[in-house]
Amino acid sequence: GAVVSQHPSWVICKSGTSVKIECRSLDFQATTMFWYRQFPKQSLMLMATSNEGSKATYEQGVEKDKFLINHASLTLSTLTVTSAHPEDSSFYICSARVLAGSSSYEQYFGPGTRLTVT
């Protein structure tokens, strides 16, 4: 149980275009999802916290107009990278938090999406 999927697993796009990444909790409901960015050989950097039915909370330094996050349902959050540039190329990972019991702080991670902007 507690499986999180991401789609697509990798994407190549041209500079100036927008890309949407989906994050789904497959067998549980997640009121909170998190979006991370990871550069090669580095740790995960939290970009934003997404709560179902409300606006995402962005971390300091993350451009909310560039990285649009929508959490329309209890099983789906999307990250749209608008007007992508080569410096946006990275590995994007989402996670979802289960609410119940002692696992209330545990996050389950998706497999990641590799974005390459040419």
What are the residues binding other proteins (CB under 8 A)? 4, 6, 32, 34, 41-44, 46, 49, 91, 93, 95, 97, 102, 104-112, 114
d(CA 95, CA 81) in angstroms, rounded, equals 18
Closest distance of CB 100 from other proteins, Å: 14
Closest distance of CB 17 from other proteins, Å: 23
CB nearer to other proteins: pick between 31 and 82: 31
Closest distance of CB 34 from other proteins, Å: 7
Beta strands in the chain (DSSP E): 4-7, 10-13, 19-25, 32-38, 44-51, 57-58, 67-73, 76-81, 90-97, 107-109, 113-117
CB nearer to other proteins: pick between 71 and 97: 97
